[in-house]
């Protein structure tokens, strides 16, 4: 037997409808409130002769146990059929009684009937339920190491498509012991999982600031499922763990690398959804009863975004005026620190763009800055070879992406002689990489370099 609680909204009042097979029951108190009755209980007793308490409907005795939303209702909740809804509307003196009656019989009832016609007749046999939420589950055998076979279990939230792996399966997939993975999850902080790096600042002060901003625990949505019986890690954090054991761990794991490459080729979440046979159409149907409230939320959100766009335009105009003024004074590139982060921040302030852009696949890494027309790495002059090699690799990997036609730029800072500068420029001239030299901390950038950066902006 199918039992479903559907919620509609009429003038900011929730109208709940209980659908038992093909029979429609309304929550009586919702109807009475929407019709303006000051004493809903008295109105229901007086006008609704067919009203029943939830506990008095025999068909619900066993079905209620399978539906968390219905189980949350008070057993004494009064339910009324369509005819009693009509009686309440005719007895109401509230001015919105007639519009409410039209809305019920022109909108709500047809939608419920149409919903029944389109309802799926089959239910997947791989569904499990945790805390009242349905998940699709798929399990496959996997050779953890030579001679030892274990399993990989994948889960997909049926109404949203969010996926994940159990902690035990994640350990199996990485080719490590469960205890080792649990220790890693306890050791790493939120910055590790959100940013994908284990980097800290260059000083203890930077470390304290970082911890204050990021916290020391895991992200709030780290677990897709968390019960005493099972912990399932959300797909985006599974990817981070695979990448760590594949490329960053002291003892790199071949198993982790194999699965990381296989899953990220089509996207970690997409790969898991294919395994669990996730159907996006079911999710759309599942949420159809809330379209009225979603539509209203979208309209409000659009209004908010339009206001934010106006504010952004004003801010951008002010920023452009500030940059113009500072450029005319030729003081924008005067440094106050001598570490790489300060120079990256300075260049970013000049050219804008996105920082720390992650590049996946084989030999993953992060580009310091990517703008609309430039791919930028910032390095000390002593680290020219390292920066030059990194930039060539990044540009080669981005050659077939939306960044293909962008100018690859290596920004070098620190003291350098005229002769050294000529040597580095000769090396770079055979490639499509441009070099920009930033003077020492107490100097200003020269006019030619300033003009080049202004053109990039």
pTM assigned to the model: 0.36
What is the rounded CA–CA span in Å between residue 73 and residue 69?
7
> What tokens does 120 get?
């799926």
Same domain, 260 and 147: yes
- Per-residue confidence (pLDDT) for residue 243, from 0 to 100: 92
What is the rounded CA–CA span in Å between residue 19 and residue 104?
15
- Per-residue confidence (pLDDT) for residue 123, from 0 to 100: 47
Q: List alpha helices for 27-164, DSSP H.
A: 28-34, 40-47, 60-63, 68-71, 82-91, 97-103, 109-118
Read off the CATH number of the domain in which 417 is found.
3.40.1350
pLDDT, mean over the chain: 79
Min mean pLDDT across 168-172, 209-213, 373-377 is at: 209-213
Same domain, 432 and 380: yes
Same domain, 69 and 10: yes
**Of 88 and 75, more confident:** 88
Burial of 229 (0-12, 13-18, 19+ CB in 10 A): exposed
Same domain, 113 and 72: yes
Q: For tokens 């797909």, name the residue.
A: 235
Q: Is the pLDDT of residue 196 over 70?
A: no
Min mean pLDDT across 2-16, 232-246, 349-363, 424-438 is at: 2-16
What is the rounded CA–CA span in Å between residue 366 and residue 353?
14
Read off the CATH number of the domain in which 110 is found.
3.10.260
Same domain, 140 and 274: yes
Residue 235 in any domain: the answer is: yes
Q: Give SS3 for 147.
A: coil
Same domain, 300 and 415: no
Q: How do residues 271-296 score in pLDDT, each as one tens digit? A: 899 888 888 776 655 554 445 566 67
The H or E element containing residue 16 is strand 13-20
Q: For tokens 């990989």, name the residue.
A: 152
Torsions phi, psi for 237 (to 5 deg): -85, -25
Residue 186 in any domain: the answer is: yes
- Per-residue confidence (pLDDT) for residue 286, from 0 to 100: 52
Torsion of CA 129, 134, 140, 146, to 10 degrees: -70
Min mean pLDDT across 6-10, 124-128, 399-403 is at: 124-128
**Cα-Cα-Cα-Cα dihedral sign, residues 259, 262, 265, 267:** negative
- Per-residue confidence (pLDDT) for residue 21, from 0 to 100: 75
Same domain, 277 and 181: yes
Same domain, 132 and 214: yes
Region 348-366 average pLDDT: 86
Domain of 296 in residue numbering reads as: 290-328
Same domain, 62 and 134: no
Task: Give the relative orientation of helices 254-264 and 235-243 as an angle to the nearest 10 degrees.
Answer: 140
Residue 91 in any domain: the answer is: yes
**Cα-Cα-Cα-Cα dihedral sign, residues 125, 130, 132, 134:** negative
* pLDDT > 90 fraction of the chain, expressed in percent and rounded: 16
The H or E element containing residue 149 is strand 148-157
Same domain, 168 and 216: yes
- Give one word for 129, left, alpha or beta, with left for phi > 0 and alpha for psi -120 to 50: beta
- Per-residue confidence (pLDDT) for residue 65, from 0 to 100: 53
Measured distance between the N- and C-terminal CA atoms of the chain, rounded to whole angstroms: 65
Buried b / exposed e along 371-400 (16+ C-beta atoms within 10 A): beebbbbbbbbeebeebbebbbebbebbee
Distance set, CA 274 to CA 125, 151, 167, 267 (Å): 15, 17, 20, 11
Same domain, 351 and 448: yes
Same domain, 321 and 371: no
Strands in 257-416 per DSSP E: 354-359, 365-370, 374-380, 407-413
Residue 139 in any domain: the answer is: yes
Residue 335 in any domain: the answer is: no
Residue 334 in any domain: the answer is: no
Which of 88, 118, 148 represents a domain boundary (last residue)? 118
Residue 297 in any domain: the answer is: yes
Residue 333 in any domain: the answer is: no
Q: What's the structural domain count of the chain?
A: 4
């Amino acid at each position: 037997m199918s039992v479903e609680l559907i919620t509609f909204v009429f003038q900011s009042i929730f109208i709940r409808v209980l659908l038992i097979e093909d029979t429609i029951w309304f929550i009586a108190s919702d109807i009475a409130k929407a019709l303006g009755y000051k004493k809903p209980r008295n109105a229901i007793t007086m006008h609704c002769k067919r009203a029943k308490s939830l506990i008095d409907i025999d068909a619900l005795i066993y079905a209620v146990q399978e539906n968390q939303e219905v189980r949350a209702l008070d057993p004494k909740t009064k339910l009324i059929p369509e005819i009693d809804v009509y009686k309440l509307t005719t007895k109401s003196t509230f001015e919105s009684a007639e519009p409410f009656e039209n809305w019920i019989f022109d909108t709500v009832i047809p939608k419920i009937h149409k919903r029944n016609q389109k309802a799926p007749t089959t239910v997947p046999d791989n569904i499990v339920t945790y805390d009242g939420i349905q998940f699709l589950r798929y399990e496959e055998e996997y050779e953890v190491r030579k001679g030892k076979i274990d399993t990989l279990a994948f889960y997909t939230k049926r109404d949203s498509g969010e996926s994940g792996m159990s902690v035990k399966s994640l350990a199996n997939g990485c080719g490590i012991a469960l205890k080792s993975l649990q220790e890693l999850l306890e050791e790493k902080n939120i910055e590790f999982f959100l940013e994908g790096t284990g980097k800290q600042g260059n000083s203890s002060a930077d470390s304290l600031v970082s911890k204050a901003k990021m916290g020391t625990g895991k992200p709030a949505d780290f677990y897709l499922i968390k019960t005493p019986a099972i912990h399932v890690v959300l797909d985006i954090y599974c990817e981070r763990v695979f990448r760590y054991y594949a490329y960053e761990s002291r003892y790199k794991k071949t198993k982790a690398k194999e699965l990381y490459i296989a899953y990220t080729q089509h996207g970690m979440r997409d790969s898991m959804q294919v395994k669990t046979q996730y159907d996006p159409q079911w999710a759309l149907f599942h949420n159809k009863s809330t379209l009225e409230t979603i539509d209203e939320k979208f309209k409000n959100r659009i209004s908010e975004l339009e206001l934010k766009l106006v504010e952004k335009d004003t801010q951008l105009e002010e920023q452009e005026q500030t940059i113009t003024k500072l450029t005319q004074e030729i003081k924008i590139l005067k440094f106050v620190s001598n570490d790489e982060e300060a120079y990256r921040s300075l260049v970013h302030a000049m050219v804008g763009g996105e920082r720390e852009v992650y590049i996946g696949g084989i030999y993953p890494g992060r580009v310091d800055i990517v703008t609309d027309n430039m791919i930028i790495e910032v390095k000390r002059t002593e680290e020219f070879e390292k920066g030059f090699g990194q930039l060539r690799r990044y540009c080669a990997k981005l050659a077939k992406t939306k960044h293909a036609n962008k100018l690859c730029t290596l920004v070098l800072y620190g003291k350098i002689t005229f002769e050294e500068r000529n040597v580095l420029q000769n090396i770079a001239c055979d490639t499509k990489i441009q070099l920009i030299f930033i003077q020492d901390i107490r100097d200003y950038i020269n006019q030619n370099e300033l003009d080049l950066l202004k053109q990039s902006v």
